[in-house]
Structure 1
Amino acid sequence: MRLLHTSDWHVGRTFHGADTLPALVEVLAAMADRVRRERIDVVLVAGDVFDSAMPAGRHVEALTEALGAIRAAGAQLVLSSGNHDSPARLGANAAFARAGGLHLSTDALDPASWVVELADEHGSVHVVAIPYLEPVVLRAALPEAGIRTQADAMRWAMDAVRAGLAAAAEASGAPVRSVVLAHCFAAGVAEADDDAPRDIRAGGLDVVPVAAFEGVDYAALGHIHSRQVLAEGVRYSGAPLHYSFRERSPERGGWLVELDAAGLAAVTWLDLPVPRPLTEVRGELDALLDDPSLDGTEQHWLRVVLTDAAMPLDAMRRLQARWPRCAQVEWAGGAGARTGAAVRERLARRSEPEVVDDFLAHVRGEGASEAERALVLDGLARAAAAEAAR
């Protein structure tokens, strides 16, 4: 059996305010083409199918068309809900969809509903799609389970998965091959350099150990937007599009997982197109605008770090004249390199005129002139007089 591991489609998400739907439609169409050419049997989506619990109509239509194209290319689909999805909305008509080869797993409290039993020439394969597990919800519904963290929730889920696989093996008289989908933050992820989801922070509270996935042939993880390998059979595929400049891997695609009679046979990477690459440049504004080495990047998503001694005026407009998709500008030159904490500490020790002088130095790289200082002092004196007259 050949399965394509994907995740985090985030249909409806924007990139720094720009619509990404046309690019995502392009990538998902390419995915359907790869399914046909690579003779893929199953496409997995490990959570965060939509970016919102209430997706717009055009986002629902785009997803429906993409799933239909993949199904027409010959693959069944297994989707689990992520923390961005509404389980009720994503799982609507799940029983009807199953008849057409689309399997939706959204009920976190019903492990039996997570199991999709498929088959190839070697026998049965259990694809177990664990929906996103919210510890607070599970703790309220299952007080006896002692669930406090994401790790506790995943241990509970994987215990149920292993028990189900053991029962299936006993019934069939042979081990059952298995693939698990899970949407979580797993130990070993290099989170500092990636676009970790908005509700996840490293530090131990919601980290799931890799060992939690023992007992299955392959764990298809979602929640992190760049591809990562935690173990041979435990991987993140990343998102099909870049959704942040912090995402670590420039490539986009999915893992082609091959199962033989004994279990996991091979895992290889399948590239998908990158409609608009990410580019980061650093330097002084005028030099960047005239830099011939940057020819060909005009249609990239661009992040710019300016090193001018003074913050240039109207920098974004000037940059977008060359790079229409310039999305982020940061000034790191002169006084702009100071951290906010350092500025606050400095302000706490300054008089009001000095605070104004520091502010001007912070935003433009040089303090007030003598004429400006005179105006500031006059304005402060007038304000003090008005306050005293009240």
Structure 2
Amino acid sequence: MRMIHTSDWHLGRGFHGVGLLDAQAAYLDHLVEVVQAEGIDAVLVSGDIYDRALPAPDTVALLDDALTRLMDAGATVVLSSGNHDSAVRLGFGARVLAKAGLHIRTDLAAIGVPVDLGDAVIYPLPYLEPALSAEALGADEATHASVLRAAMGRVRADARDRGVPTVVVAHAFVTGATTSESERDISVGGVAAVPTEVFAGVDYAALGHLHGPQEVDPGIRYSGSPVAMSFSETGHQKSSVLLTVDGGKVRCETIAAPVRRHLARLRGTLDDLLADVTLKDAEDAWCQVTLTDAVRPLGAMERVRRRFPHTLQLEFEQQVVDLTGSSYTARVKDKSDIELCCDFLDHVRGGHPATDDERGALRGALEGSRVGRAGQDDEGGARAGAEQEGAA
């Protein structure tokens, strides 16, 4: 028997203002091809199918098409909800769909009820929000570890005498795993981590939530997200996990996911980055660029994008000037209004002093303001004098 473990599709997600639906559709096309080519019996998706509780219509249509094609290819599909999904909406029609081979598990009442594949049993666990699930599961306390222990108690009770490999599908943060910036914090009262021993006794724990593919302990693995969603995922080898059940054991190997556009993080002065011949590959990448110029270059983003047109994030890392040695009053003492205005312009532009034309414009504005105030004062004084004469 062969299965695919995947998770964290986050359908509908954006990346610094760029929609990812095309890249996500490419991954789902790839997944269907793998199911067909490898004779996959089941596809396990460990939560965060959607990126938001109310997905857009084109996102729903993409999922509907992908699930139909996976099932047409002969695979049983098992989905469990993640912390980004609406359990109620994702789980609509689950009992009817199960009869066709699509098993969607979002309900606490179904915990411990397996999807029986014959040579293996699958126990899908929806994302368990401690505050909402602790009492229903009979957990000792409202923590992630406690509610998962309670859920796993139901799993072990059902799996005890089945005599075939047991696979658990869960969405959680397991101790020892490496996080990324693109994951939503699921901590409650600062306690989110679940120890690996919670999954003791199962043959494979197919985990979701963390976007970096990794094996936390033997048989406890995150497939990771198939599409990168933050620059912290630069260098990730996006993939799915192929599980083979043979002789009562579960073997794992990874299958690389397609990459529509890779990520690059560039750091240096603007001139150095534009001249660096080793950065040829970054010209077609989504780029995060950090400029280290002592003076912030004018038109930096425009110049960067001439060479790296897919730059999405531009940051500046400049030497911090120590101003603690003198107070603000001391720094502005004896400076004229025009000097203060030019100093402010220099500061907000990161080291670009005012030009002669800008000094002239500022001087004209200051003079106009002074004359305007004087006129208001004269008008106010005349009005006051007239009122006093009238009163007399």
- Cα displacement (A) at 1:249: 4.3
**5+ unaligned residues in a row in structure 1: which ranges?**
none
Matches within 5 A, 1:129-168: 129-139=124-134, 141=136, 144-166=138-160
What does the per-residue CA deviation read over 1:98-134, in whole Å, with 9 as the maximum and x for residues that have no partner? Answer: 1222110011344145x211114xxxx2101100000
**In structure 1, distance between residues paired with 2:191 and 2:317:** 34
**5+ unaligned residues in a row in structure 2: which ranges?**
333-339, 378-392
- Cα displacement (A) at 1:316: 1.9
Q: Is the 8 A contact 1:360 1:367 kept in 2?
A: yes
Q: Which residue of 2 aligns with 1:61?
A: 61
- Normalising to structure 1: TM-score of the pair? 0.83
Is 1:235 aligned with 2:213? no
**In structure 2, distance between residues paired with 1:347 and 1:27:** 56
Q: How many residues align?
A: 363
Q: Is the 8 A contact 1:310 1:334 kept in 2?
A: no
**In structure 2, distance between residues paired with 1:139 and 1:256:** 33
- Cα displacement (A) at 1:227: 0.4
Change (3 A) 1:296 1:247: closer
- Cα displacement (A) at 1:202: 11
Q: Is the 8 A contact 2:234 2:264 kept in 1?
A: no
Q: Is the 8 A contact 2:13 2:19 kept in 1?
A: yes
Q: Is the 8 A contact 1:6 1:239 kept in 2?
A: yes
Root mean square deviation of aligned Cα: 3.3
Match of residue 306, structure 1, among 271, 291, 306? 291
Q: Is the 8 A contact 2:234 2:265 kept in 1?
A: no
- Cα displacement (A) at 1:319: 2.1
Change (3 A) 1:367 1:298: closer
Q: Which residue of 2 aligns with 1:119?
A: 118
Change (3 A) 1:86 1:203: closer
Q: Is the 8 A contact 1:32 1:70 kept in 2?
A: yes
Q: Aligned letter for 2:170?
A: A
Q: Kindly, what percent of the aligned residue pairs are identical?
A: 40
**In structure 2, distance between residues paired with 1:106 and 1:361:** 54
Q: Which residue of 1 aligns with 2:384?
A: none
**In structure 1, distance between residues paired with 2:205 and 2:157:** 16
**In structure 2, distance between residues paired with 1:164 and 1:303:** 49
Q: Which of 63-72 and 272-281 deviates more? A: 63-72
Which one has a bigger Cα radius of gyration? Answer: 2
Match of residue 169, structure 2, among 163, 181, 184? 181
Matches within 5 A, 1:1-390: 1-113=1-113, 115-120=114-119, 125-139=120-134, 141=136, 144-166=138-160, 169=161, 175-191=163-179, 194-195=180-181, 197-200=183-186, 205-247=191-233, 249-264=235-250, 266-335=251-320, 346=324, 350-351=328-329, 360-361=346-347, 363-365=349-351
Q: Is the 8 A contact 1:109 1:138 kept in 2?
A: no
Q: Is the 8 A contact 1:227 1:249 kept in 2?
A: no
What does the per-residue CA deviation read over 1:342-382, in whole Å, with 9 as the maximum and x for residues that have no partner? Answer: 99xx599533965985894474137889997x97xx89x98
**In structure 2, distance between residues paired with 1:183 and 1:228:** 14
- Normalising to structure 2: TM-score of the pair? 0.83
- Cα displacement (A) at 1:140: 5.0
- Cα displacement (A) at 1:58: 0.4
Change (3 A) 1:248 1:267: farther
